[in-house]
Chains A and B, each alone.
Chain A
Amino acid sequence: MDLTRRSRPIEAAIQGSLFLAGMISILTTIGIVVVLGREALLFFQTKEVTLGEFFSSTTWEPQILEFGIWPLVRSTLMVSLIAILVAVPLGLAAAIYLSEYASDRARGLLKPVLEVLAGIPTVVYGYFALTFVTPILRSLLGVSLVEIFNVASAGIVVGILIIPLVSSMSEDALHAVPLSLREAAHGLGATKLEVSLRVVLPAALSGITAAVVVSVSRAIGETMVVAIAAGAAPRNWNLGKDGLFSTVLNPFISGETMTGHIVRISGGDLSYNSIDYNSVFAIGLMLFLMTLSLNMLSRRFVARFREVYE
C-alpha cells in the first residue's frame, strides 16, 4: 500500500481561500492607513494649510481657510474627561461589588442589565442626551448657563454608555486575582472591604488601568451622542483671561468634537478632492492614531496581569 502523502488540490484550494479570508483583515488595516494617509497628505500639501498650523492654531474655520485642530480636540477631550469621571467610579464600584460581594443570584440579575446597557445603539443614547439629560441640566443649573447643545450632557451620557465596558473589563481583572491572596489577607484578620480595596484592587491594577485606557479610547471615538447633543460648530479658543474659563474650559457651552465634525461634513453632499473632504480625512487619521495607540497601550496592561496570574 502506498502511504506517501498524496497531493490534494481541492484541500489546498480550500486552505488557500481560508487564508485569503484571514488576509481581509490585514487588507482592511492597510486600507484604513492608506486611505486616511493619502487624503491627509493631499490636505497638508495644499498651500492653504501647513502641519504647523494644523497643530498650533486654535481656530477652525474652513470658510476663511483656518484649519487649527484645537477647537475640535478641546471638545473631544472634554467629553472624554467627563465620561471617564462618570464611568470609572461607577463602573469600578460596580465591578468590585459584582466580583467580591454579590451573591450568584444578585449577579445573575444585575449583569444582564449591564449587557443590555452595552447593546443599546449609540444613536438612542444621543436621543437620551439631547431630550432628557440636557433639559434636566438646564433646569438644574439655569438656562443662561447651560446651552441647548453642550459638552457636559454629551459627556455624561457617553459616561453611562461606557460603564459596561469599564465594569466588565475591571471585573475580569479582579476575577483573575488568585483566591489564595484573598484567603491570606482574611487569615491575617482583614475585613472584606480591606481585602477588596487593599489586596485585590492593587493586584488587579494593571487590568483596571487597561479598562480605563480602553474607555478613554472608546469615548474619543464615540460619535452619535456628540453629533446629536454636543453642538454643530467648532468652538474657537479665546485665550483671553476671561475667555479661558468662559469658553475653553466651560463644559456647558456647545462645541463640536472631531467625530461630530466628520459626521456633519461628510453627511452633507461634499465634492471629492475639495479641501473640506480632505480635511475630514486628516481629522480621521488623527482620531485613528489616538484610539489605536490607546488600545495598544491597554492591551499591554492586560497582557501584564494575564502574565502574572495565569
Chain B
Amino acid sequence: MSAGGFPEGVQLDGQISRRRRRGAYLRLSFLASLIVAVFALLTLLYHIVNSAFGLVALESEVAPAALVESLGLDSTSSALVDLSKDDLVTVLRTNINNNVGRSLERDQRFYDDRLVFETQAKWDELCARAVDRPAGCSSGARERDNVYALIVEQIVQPRVQETWLLFDSIFHRAEIEERAAALYPSADLIFRSWLSVDFVTSPQSPQAEIAGVRTAILGSLWIVGVTILFSFPVGVGAAVYLEEYARDTRLNRLVQTNINNLAGVPSIIYGMLGLAIFVRVLQAFTSGAAFGGVDGVTANGRTVVSAGLTLGLLILPIIIINAQEAIRAVPQSLRSAGMALGASQWQTIRAHVLPNAIPGILTGAILAVARALGETAPLVVVGASTFITADPTGPFSKFTALPIQIFQWTSRPQDEFRNIAAAAIIVLLVLLLLLNATAIVLRNRYARRV
C-alpha cells in the first residue's frame, strides 16, 4: 500500500530495532568518552603515587651507625638523627677536614659563645676586616637540624644508585633484590617514602636524597599572600563598581568586555607583563630599594612582590567575574528596602549587598587563589630563582615556589629527581585540595542560608 515509501509491518519493526540498536551503541560510546576522562584522572593520580614511594638502592659513604659508635654510644639504641647538638658537632669535628670546617664556621658559627674550628685570634682578625668579612661574624649560631644536615651532606653522603616504582617494589620485589645485589653489592635496599615529614620541612638541596620543599612552600605562601592582598580588594571593588554603580555607558561596557577578554589571555603573557613592569620599570619598589634596608646583592626586581603582583593581575579577572555573579545573586528587594529606609547607596552596599554576597565572593576568590597557587609559567618568566636554600623572609626576598620546584626537578634527567618531583606534586595537590574543600564548605553554608 505504501506508495509514498513509508515502511510498514516487518520492515518497520526491523528499522526501529536497527535505530534503537544504533542508539544504544552510541550511547555507550558517549559514556565511554566520559570514562576515558575519569580513567585519565585516575591514571595521573596512580602514576604520581607510584613515583613518590618505592624501593631505592642507597649507598652511603659512611654508615650513620658507625658515626654514632665513634662517639662511644650504642648504635642500636640511639640513632644519628636523635643526637644532641653537642654530639653532632663532635661528630662533625672528628670526621671532616679542618679547612672545610673552618669555611663552614665562617659561613655561620656553630655556637654563639665558642668556636669549634677557628682560633679566637684568627676569628677576631677576620671579623675586624673592612672587606670580605665572613658572614658568620654577624649571623647567629647554627641550629641543631642544620648541623645534622651538614653531617648528612658532608660525611654520610647517601647516594641513590637506582630507584623503583611503588608497583614494582610490591609485586616484583624478588627481581629487584636480585638486581640490586648483583649491581650494587655494598648498597642498602630500603623502601623509601619520598614524601615524608623531612621532605616537607627540609630546605632545597642539590642532592635529591636530602632535598625538601620547605623553601618552596614558604615561597608559595608568601607569593599567594601578596596576590590575595592585591587582587581581593581590587577585584571585589571592581565588581561592586560594575554591578552597583556603573551605568550602561560605552566605557563601562568596554571595561566588562575587557575583563572577559583578559580571562582568556595565556598566563605566560602575564609573566611577560610582570617581567617588564614589576621587575624592570618598578625595580626600585619591587626590590625594596625605595624602602631602604636591602643589600645590593638581592636588589633586583625578581622578588616575592613582583611574583605576587603578577599572579594578582592574572587572577583579577576571575575574582571580578565570580564576585559579579555573587553580587548579582543578591535580591533586588534588599537594595530597595535599604534605600527606602534612607540609607545611601554605599550604606546599602556595605550593610546589605556585601554581607549577603560575601560567601559567594569568597568561594570564587578561593578558587582563583587555587589557580594562582598552581601557576608556573608566569613565575618562571618573572624570574623565580633556580636554586635557593634560604627561606623567604619578606616581600623583597628572592623566591621560588612549589610548582617551580616541581618543574625544575622534573626537568632533571636522574630518576631520583622524578621521585621527589612526584612527592612535591602530592604536597601541592594536598594544598589545593584543602583550598577547594574550604570553598565547598563555604558554598554549602551559603546554600543553606538562602
Q: Name the distance in Å between B86's Cβ and chain A's nearest Cβ.
A: 42
Contacts of A96 in B (CB 8 A): 30
Q: Is the interface of B mostly helix, strand, loop or mixed?
A: helix
B428 touches which of A92, A124, A291 (Cβ 8 Å)? A124
B261 touching A29, Cβ below 8 Å: yes
- Out of B41, B237, B245, B375, which one reaches A116, CB within 8 Å? B41
Identify A18's interface contact among B240, B370, B403, B429, CB under 8 A.
B240
Chain B, Cβ-Cβ closest to A295? B264
Contacting pair A224 B316 (CB below 8 A) = no
Which residues of chain A are within 8 angstroms of B48 by Cβ–Cβ distance?
124, 127-128
Q: In the assembly, what is the distance between CA of A123 and CA of B425, in Å?
A: 9
Give B428 Cβ to nearest chain A Cβ, in Å. Answer: 7
- A94 to B30, alpha carbons, bound, how many Å? 6
B344 within 8 A of A: yes
Residues 11-48 of chain B, each 1 if its beta carbon lies under 8 Å from chain A, else 0: 00000000110110011011111101110110110011
Residues from chain A with a CB closer than 8 A to the CB of B26 are: 193, 197
A248 contacts the other chain (CB 8 A): no
**Min CB gap A303→B, angstroms:** 11
Report the bound CA distance from A229 to B272 in whole Å: 22
- Taking CB atoms, residues of chain B closer than 8 Å to A29 are 258, 261-262
Which residues of the other chain, B, contact A23 by a CB distance below 8 angstroms?
255
User: CA–CA, A20 to B255, complex, Å?
Assistant: 11
Q: Is the CB of B377 within 8 A of A117?
A: no
Bound Cα distance A23, B249 (Å): 14
The reply to whether B410 and A130 contact each other, CB–CB distance below 8 Å, is yes
With A26-B258, A262-B381, A295-B261 as known contacts, state yes or no: A114 contacts B37, CB within 8 Å.
Answer: yes
Q: Which residues of B contact A132 (CB under 8 A)?
A: 43-44, 47
What string of 1s and 0s marks CB contacts (under 8 Å) between B308-321 and chain A? 00000100110010
B272 and A126 form a contact (CB under 8 A): no
Whole-angstrom distance between the alpha carbons of A292 and B262 in the complex? 9
Question: Could you tell me if B237 and A228 are in contact, using CB atoms closer than 8 angstroms?
Answer: no
A22-58 near B? 1/0 per residue, CB < 8 Å: 1111101101100110010000000000000000000
Tell me the bound Cα distance from A164 to B29 in angstroms.
Answer: 18
Which residues of the partner chain A approach B32 to less than 8 Å between Cβ atoms?
Answer: 93
Complex contacts, A163 vs chain B, CB 8 Å: 37, 40
Give the distance to chain B from A220, nearest Cβ to Cβ, in Å: 8
B260 within 8 A of A: yes
B48 to chain A, nearest CB (A): 7
Q: A-side binding surface: helix, strand, loop or mixed?
A: helix
In the assembled complex, the Cα of A192 lies from the Cα of B344 at a distance in Å of 55
Given known contacts A25-B255, A126-B410, A299-B260, A121 and B276 CB-to-CB distance under 8 angstroms: no
> How near does chain A come to B388, taking the closest CB pair, in angstroms?
14
Q: Is the CB of A221 within 8 A of B31?
A: no
> Are B34 and A98 neighbours in the complex by a CB distance under 8 Å?
yes
Is A72 interfacial (CB 8 A cutoff)?
no
Contact A97:B261 (CB < 8 A) given known A18-B241, A21-B233: no
In contact, B258 and A25 (Cβ under 8 angstroms): yes
Using A21-B237, A93-B29, A223-B268 as known contacts, say yes or no to A266 and B275 having CB atoms under 8 A apart.
yes
Nearest Cβ on chain B to A310's Cβ, whole angstroms = 16
Stretch at the interface among A59-67, A180-188, A237-245, A281-289: A281-289
Q: A98-B34, A262-B381, A267-B381 are in contact. Are A124 and B44 (CB under 8 A)?
A: yes
A259 part of interface (Cβ distance < 8 Å) = yes
| A window 116-149: CB within 8 A of B | 116-117, 119-128, 130-132
Q: Is there a chain A Cβ closer than 8 Å to B146's Cβ?
A: no
Which B residues lie within 8 Å of A178 (CB)? none
From A15, A90, A281, contact of B36 by CB (8 A) = A90
Q: How far is the CA of A120 from the CA of B407 in the complex (A)?
A: 14
Residues of B with C-beta under 8 A to A160: 37, 40
Q: Does B137 contact A (CB under 8 A)?
A: no
Cα A131 to Cα B264 with chains together (Å): 29
User: Is the CB–CB distance between B276 and A267 below 8 Å?
Assistant: no
Decide if B374 touches A122 in the complex (CB within 8 Å).
yes
B234 on the A face (CB < 8 A)? yes
Residues of A within 8 A of B240 (CB): 18
Given A11-B344, A39-B276, A128-B47; A97-B27 close (CB under 8 Å): yes
A288 with B407: CB separation less than 8 A: no
| Complex-state Cα separation, A124 to B410, whole angstroms | 10
Closest to B376 in A: A123
Q: B410 and A259: CB pair below 8 A?
A: no
In the complex the two chains form, is B313's CB within 8 Å of A28's CB?
yes
Chain A residues whose C-beta falls within 8 Å of the C-beta of B98 in the assembled complex: none
Contact B346 A15 (CB under 8 A): yes
Whether the Cβ atoms of A22 and B429 lie closer than 8 Å is no
Distance from B320 Cβ to chain A, minimum over Cβ atoms (Å): 7
**Closest chain B residue to A113, Cβ basis:** B38
**Residue in B38, B235, B261, B403 whose beta carbon sits within 8 Å of that of A121 in the complex:** B403
Tell me, yes or no, whether B394 is within 8 Å of chain A by CB.
no
CA distance A94 to B39 in the complex (A): 13
Q: Which residue of A lies closest to B252 (CB)?
A: A22
Residues from chain B with Cβ under 8 Å of A296 in the complex: 261
| Interchain CB contact (< 8 A) of B380 among A91, A266, A295 | A266
Asked if B406 and A93 make an inter-chain contact with CB atoms under 8 angstroms apart, the answer reads no
**Closest chain B residue to A217, Cβ basis:** B264
Complex: A119 Cα to B429 Cα, angstroms: 10
| B23 nearest in chain A by CB position | A193
What's the Cα separation between A167 and B242 when bound, in Å?
30
A266 contacts B432, C-beta separation under 8 Å: no
A298 to B393, CA, bound (A): 44
Q: Are B380 and A272 in contact (CB under 8 A)?
A: no
**Complex Cα gap A119–B367 (Å):** 9
- From the candidates B37, B316, B370, name the one contacting A25 in the complex (CB within 8 A): B316
* Known interface pairs A18-B245, A117-B37, A263-B381; A123-B266 also in contact (CB < 8 Å): no
Among residues of A, the one whose C-beta sits closest to the C-beta of B257 is A299
CA distance A197 to B26 in the complex (A): 10
Across the interface, which residues of A come within 8 angstroms of B316, CB to CB?
Answer: 24-25, 28
Bound state CA distance, A8 and B246, in angstroms? 18
- In the bound complex, do residue B428 and residue A121 qualify as a contact, i.e. CB atoms below 8 Å apart? yes
Complex contact A124–B429 (CB within 8 A): yes
11 cross-chain CB contacts under 8 A: A32-B270, A119-B370, A123-B406, A128-B44, A262-B381, A266-B272, A272-B280, A281-B272, A284-B268, A291-B266, A291-B269
Q: Contact residues of B with A, CB < 8 Å?
A: 19-20, 22-23, 26-27, 29-34, 36-38, 40-41, 43-44, 47-48, 51, 233-235, 237-238, 240-242, 245-246, 252, 254-255, 258-262, 264-273, 275-277, 280, 313, 316-317, 320, 344-346, 370, 373-377, 380-381, 383, 386, 403, 406-407, 410-411, 418, 421-422, 425, 428-429, 432, 436
6 other contacts beyond A110-B34, A191-B23, A217-B264, with CB at 8 A cut-off? Answer: A8-B344, A25-B320, A113-B37, A132-B43, A288-B269, A299-B260
Q: Which 5 A-B pairs have the closest CB atoms?
A: A221-B266, A121-B374, A21-B237, A93-B33, A193-B23
